């Protein structure tokens, strides 16, 4: 079995959104439940999120084409099952759609997770291990 650690391997994640304002409302709510804050706008309408530094960015795609994310999932770390539940509830209330209710995941021992689609159709989730 692989060991899951809290060490990050990405400098950042950038996802496209056709309606940046709607996506920002969703991520303000869902990521706020995980203690991840909106660090404000940057450059050409980018919205930056992180705890201490920008790590997650939403914006219109740079090439001007419509945003598309079929097959991609971004997972955010949660500190507890309660944070997973709060992420899911906040995301639904802010315009997201359910892709998997909060609960245990049998494919990973001790995993507790929830899945959503943001207003642009991107699949996001949060996991904690108990």
Q: List pLDDT tens digits, range 13-64.
A: 989 999 999 999 999 999 999 999 999 888 878 999 999 888 999 999 888 8
Contact criterion met (CB below 8 Å) for 111 and 75: no
In a domain, 39, yes or no: yes
The pLDDT value given to residue 117:
94
| Number of domains comprising the chain | 1
In a domain, 99, yes or no: yes
Quote the CA–CA distance of 55 and 52 in Å, as a whole number: 9
User: What mean pLDDT is reported for the chain?
Assistant: 89
Does the pLDDT of residue 108 top 90, yes or no? no
The pLDDT value given to residue 79:
94
CATH of the domain at 82: 3.10.180.10
In a domain, 7, yes or no: no
Q: Show the domain range for 17.
A: 13-60+73-129
Please provide the DSSP assignment of the chain as one string. -PPP-S----S-EEEE-SSHHHHHHHHHHHHHTTT-EEEEEETTTEEEEESSS--EEEE--TTSSPP--TT-EEEEE-SSHHHHHHHHHHHHHTT-EEEEEEEEETTSTTEEEEEEE-TTS-EEEEEEE-
């Amino acid at each position: 079995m692989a060991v899951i650690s809290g060490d990050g391997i990405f400098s950042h994640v950038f996802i496209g959104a056709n309606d940046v304002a709607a996506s920002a409302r969703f991520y303000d709510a869902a990521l706020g439940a995980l203690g991840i804050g909106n660090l404000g706008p940057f450059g050409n309408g980018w919205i930056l999120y992180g705890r201490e530094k920008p790590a997650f960015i939403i914006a219109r795609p740079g090439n001007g084409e419509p945003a598309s994310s079929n097959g991609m999932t971004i997972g955010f770390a949660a500190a507890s099952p309660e944070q997973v539940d709060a992420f899911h509830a906040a995301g639904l209330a802010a315009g997201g759609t359910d892709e998997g209710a909060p609960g245990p995941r049998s494919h990973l021992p001790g995993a507790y997770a929830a899945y959503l689609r943001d207003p642009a159709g991107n699949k996001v989730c949060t996991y904690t291990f108990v």
